[in-house]
Amino acid sequence: RSSQQKAGGGDGSPSSVAAETPSSEDFSLSLLDTNLPAEAETELRSFISKRLTKGALFEGMGNVASVGLSIPEYKVGCYYCRFQQENILEMATLESDISVPEYVVCFLGGSEKEDTFRLELDKYIQSLKINLNLEQKPLETYVNPYLRSWFENAICPIQRVVQLFQEKLAFLLHAALSYTPVEVKNADERTEKDISRFLAAASLQGLVQEGTMTSLCIAMTEEQHKSIIIDCSGPLPQLHNAGSNRFCEDWMHAFVNGAEGGNPFLFRQILENFKLKAIQDINNLKRFIRQAEMNHYALFKCYLFLKNCGSGDILLKIVKVEHAEMPEARNVVTVLEEFMRE
């Protein structure tokens, strides 16, 4: 038990809570900041206490669960993450008798869809952990505004990019899929960060082999068309050296049509579906290439697939990089390149 411990709970914005040993019952939760009504805050505190008693919260790793609160009278999605401060943690390792306070931050939304943004929210908490000294900086000045802006800063960037680019979003999707370098000019800090986050979220990072990513990035950087330049000096962004294809244009329409509802979780789901379809197409093409090594009809199927899928330009680059060390597959890719050029 630590007298320094602090904690809290939150609804559409923030909340924080603390506990010393998550696997032990010997802890107390004290409220640090919340914008929940008292009754709902007590219910949230009870939920977090049970999780802490079971040892179900790992430091720095967020979880998403459905929580029943009396206000509003339905279940809400709750992202919660336990953490310790970096600087105090270092002191504690030097002086073992120092008691290290721990915190739990909770963000509540209308449903469990926060799960699609869990990585972004983990990064948001990491930034809080590193940059904010909860013991010394006044809560009202530093911690509370940071916690209360979680939705705007972690959930809404994809939506803002869709609304900013509209039909030009197809160029961004193409850049993300093809790993083309992007330079943003004359943009404010938030817009620049939003574009960077969108490109990271739309890329296939972690979904295709790491070596492929590296080789693709090198290949795209060395290509003659160079980086895409996005100039944000006017009301609408202007893009230079940008490319697109039918696949990205089709998905752009899905985003633009979804903009009417203005639901940021919907945009994230569309983005995940976009990446899933791209991965399915890559896997299909790789399967056709394996068959085409021994079968000329399968080679023709490869060609038809590339012609009709809408993203043949990007898929061919990806498989070319992946099959660079496989002579027979490389020969198939070379023939496909010739056909596609013609």
Q: What is the DSSP string of 121-137?
A: HHHHHHHHHHH--TTTS
Task: Give kind and range of the element (H or E) at residue 44.
Answer: helix 38-53
Q: What beta strand segments (E) does the chain contain? A: 16-17, 63-69, 74-84, 102-109, 182-185, 228-231, 238-240
Which CB contacts under 8 angstroms, 24+ apart, belong to 191-200? 191/160, 191/164, 191/232, 193/157, 194/157, 194/160, 194/161, 194/164, 195/161, 195/230, 197/120, 197/157, 197/158, 197/161, 198/157, 198/158, 198/161, 198/172, 199/172, 199/175
- Cα–Cα distance, 288 to 34 (Å, whole number): 56
DSSP state of 117: G
| Residue 111 pLDDT | 65
- Cα–Cα distance, 336 to 325 (Å, whole number): 17
Signed CA dihedral, 36, 39, 40, 46: sign only: positive
Collapsed DSSP state (helix, strand, coil) of residue 312: helix
225 token code pair:
């068309």
84 token code pair:
């310790």
| Residue 18 pLDDT | 45
Tell me the backbone φ, ψ of residue 184, rounded to 5 degrees.
-105, 130
**Could you give the angle at which helices 210-222 and 312-322 cross, rounded to 10 degrees?**
120
pTM, two decimals, is: 0.81
What amino acid occupies position 117?
F
- Cα–Cα distance, 115 to 77 (Å, whole number): 9
| Residue 327 pLDDT | 81
Tell me the backbone φ, ψ of residue 216, rounded to 5 degrees.
-65, -45
Question: How is the chain split into domains, by residue range?
Answer: 38-86+99-136, 164-341
- Which stretches in the chain have pLDDT values below 70? 1-26, 72-73, 86-99, 111-114, 132-139, 206-225, 261
| Residue 10 pLDDT | 45
